[in-house]
Amino acid sequence: MRGLSLVYLAAAGLIVAAAAALAQEPANQSADQNVRASRQYESALCANPAFRAKRVAQECGPISDPQLHQSCLASFQCGAAPRRHSNQAPPSETIK
């Protein structure tokens, strides 16, 4: 009976260790996938005027404040100064 308990305990330990290892891996992949998806979205926005117009209508259409509406429209401009993609944390997160 005791031998069987040790087997179950060892199996449970292996399951917990495997789950922890799997939980750590997607976090890094998820960040990389997010960056790729963001770049693909921006590329599609600039390459497809119909897609861009649809997104502008969805995102900016409901905004009634004129200043916020203009800011929203400006966020969809293509060909402007490229956004900087950085892997570094913003300064507010690096201040010690």
In a domain, 24, yes or no: yes
Quick one: which of 77, 74, 69, 70 has its CA closest to 42? Answer: 77
Which of the two residues, 61 and 85, has the higher pLDDT score? 61
Q: What residue numbers bound the domain in which 42 lies?
A: 13-77
Quote the pTM value.
0.50
- Is residue 25 very low, low, confident or very high in pLDDT (cuts 50, 70, 90)? low
In a domain, 83, yes or no: no
In a domain, 88, yes or no: no
In a domain, 28, yes or no: yes
pLDDT in tens, 10-19: 555 556 555 6
In a domain, 62, yes or no: yes
pLDDT in tens, 51-78: 999 999 999 999 999 999 999 999 988 8
As for how many domains the chain has, the answer is: 1
How far apart, in whole angstroms, are the C-alpha atoms of residue 58 and residue 67? 17
- Letter string b/e over residues 40-49, b meaning 16 or more CB atoms within 10 A of that residue's CB: eeeeebeeee
Quote the mean pLDDT of the chain: 75
